[in-house]
Chains A and B, each alone.
Chain A
Amino acid sequence: MDVVWALVAAALAVHAGYALWIARRLDRLHQRVDAAAAALDEQLRVRAGAAAGARPAAALQRAAAGALAIDGLGREREQAESTLSRAISTVNPDEALVTANARAGYARAFYNDTVRDALVVRRRRIVRLFRLAGSARLPAFFEMDEATPARRTIDV
């Protein structure tokens, strides 16, 4: 009987260790998602700022103001940033806007990468069963249209 209990205890210990490892990993992933979200928010604001300061293009400035008016990374923000992307695509952007637009694109890609990483772990049975994610919200992708300004090049 003692042997059986010892085996059960050992199995429990292994599972608890595994759960702890997954929980730590998930905690790291949630931190990454939050940090990437903060970076994305910041880069989008910088982009909207650069667009607002660009040469007089009423549609561009309106779109920039619309994007700056929204907090968080929800549906409304996605739509406003998409509108801004389309407005940027119609102008010949200055260097500051090209840079801000590129950084915003990378920030979105990297944010979505971390969200994907986190979701893979969140969907595991052990995570759902034992609520290893704690109170952390389920991360969500940020979907928007990207602007397509002229690619950088050099004169040869």
Chain B
Amino acid sequence: MRIGLVSPYPWDVPGGVVAHIRDLAETLVERGHDVSVITPVDDDDAEVPPYVVRAGRTVPVPFNGSVSRLVFGPVSATRVRRWIHDGDFDVLHVHSPETLSLSLLAVFIADGPIVATFHAANPRSRVLALMQSPLQVRLEKLSGRIAVSPAARKTIVEHLGADAVLIPNGVHVARFADAEPLPGWPGAGGALAFVGRVDEPRKGLEVLLDAFTRLRAHRPDLRLLVAGPGEHDGLPDGVTALGLVSEADKARVYKSADVFVAPNTGGESFGIVLLEAMAAGTAIVASDLDAFRRVLDDGDGGLAGELAAVGDPVALANACSALLDAPPRRAALRDAGRRVVGQYDWSVVATEVMHVYETAIAGHHGGRVVEQPEQVVAEAVRQILP
């Protein structure tokens, strides 16, 4: 199948949507499909895989409490148009078409079957509320709509009056399961790990640092491994900050800890880091968020991780402390996590996405039964004029 993927966000800036598109593209390529991804690329010198087509640079726009980098203009419109024309795709798969981005442009331009994946969960977005009417018209062109989480689906229902099927984010389970810990980690004194932007308050690193300082009072050899982009001043003793790491090193970071901590304070639609930690086989302590509960749900009424009250460093420290002292409990959570994460492996998720493509293509080709619109209007005009 010839598949065109459209990314709204720059390829060379790390983020959940871009990672999703990359993993999906690579899984589909592995299965022998002909895949092309059009995406903004901010750095002209950035290396991109052969399936990536550059659409130009982005401009920063504040959106949903953080800064989105979007691209929308005549030059990118020309590039998208040429890409769609030359690509001759069986199906076009746009991501986050509710943003002013390449994705929305592609929806404007394309004629064939279009599938859209909605990633964002914005309970109250002024931008979306303003855009509702014009967006609805464009989104009528979509043959299939996917939401990656119940929260993302709720956002579509409330803001766009549309529905979507639920297909979760994927994870390459084997890549994380087979990774080696970093040399010297986790070590005898115990180790925690955090993955995410260090300067994004909603990722909750501040809460974790507070909890970590409390834990260190009784565990002088405890260490914390932090992986993620952004600047942070004055990290306490025992914290190793790696900055932005490669995908391969990220997998090793999860393996390097006794306990993976997700101290997020909100704004999380899905919780891909929890999938990665489960794939790596690392016990989890996470904030008690709806999105996290859903991902950790083992289907039998249990959870494949411990939850701690959101934004509460004492609760977080207690949960970590209990797990650090209980290797059997960690092993049980590890086993539960492996069972849960199997249904999120990209091999499973990509099969569902392919079913959506097949259904969208089938649903796009069909006959017409009503009269020509011009005749209908002419008839209406005749009725009102004497």
A117 CB contacts on chain B under 8 angstroms: 136, 139-140, 162
A76 CB contacts on chain B under 8 angstroms: none
Q: Does B302 sit at the interface, judged by CB under 8 A?
A: no
Q: Does A61 sit at the interface, judged by CB under 8 A?
A: no
Q: Does A136 sit at the interface, judged by CB under 8 A?
A: yes
Closest to B163 in A: A113
Q: Which of B28-36, B44-52, B198-206, B352-360 faces chain A?
A: B352-360
CA distance A133 to B140 in the complex (A): 16
How many chain B residues touch the partner (CB < 8 A)?
A: 52
Q: Would you call B380 and A132 a contact (CB within 8 A)? A: yes
Which of B359, B373, B380 interacts with A110 by CB under 8 Å? B359
CA distance A23 to B379 in the complex (A): 12
Q: Does B64 sit at the interface, judged by CB under 8 A?
A: no
Q: Does B367 sit at the interface, judged by CB under 8 A?
A: yes
Q: Would you call B377 and A16 a contact (CB within 8 A)? A: yes
B370 CB contacts on chain A under 8 angstroms: 26-27, 30-31, 133-136
Flag B153-164 by CB within 8 Å of A: 1 or 0 each: 000000001111
CB of B189, distance to nearest CB on chain A (Å): 29
A109 CB contacts on chain B under 8 angstroms: 163-165
**Which residues, 67 to 102 on A, are CB-close (under 8 Å) to B?**
99, 102
**Which residues, 19 to 69 on B, are CB-close (under 8 Å) to A?**
none
Q: Does B351 sit at the interface, judged by CB under 8 A?
A: yes
Q: Which of B121-129, B241-249, B286-294, B338-346 faces chain A?
A: B338-346
Q: Would you call B343 and A152 a contact (CB within 8 A)? A: yes
Flag A14-50 by CB within 8 Å of B: 1 or 0 each: 0010011001111111111011111110110000000
CA distance A11 to B191 in the complex (A): 73
CA distance A67 to B228 in the complex (A): 54
Q: Would you call A16 and B351 a contact (CB within 8 A)? A: no
Query: A112 with B163: in contact, given A30-B368, A34-B367, A154-B342 (CB under 8 Å)?
Result: yes
Interface residues of A (CB under 8 A from B): 16, 19-20, 23-32, 34-40, 42-43, 99, 102-103, 105-107, 109-114, 116-117, 120, 130-136, 151-156
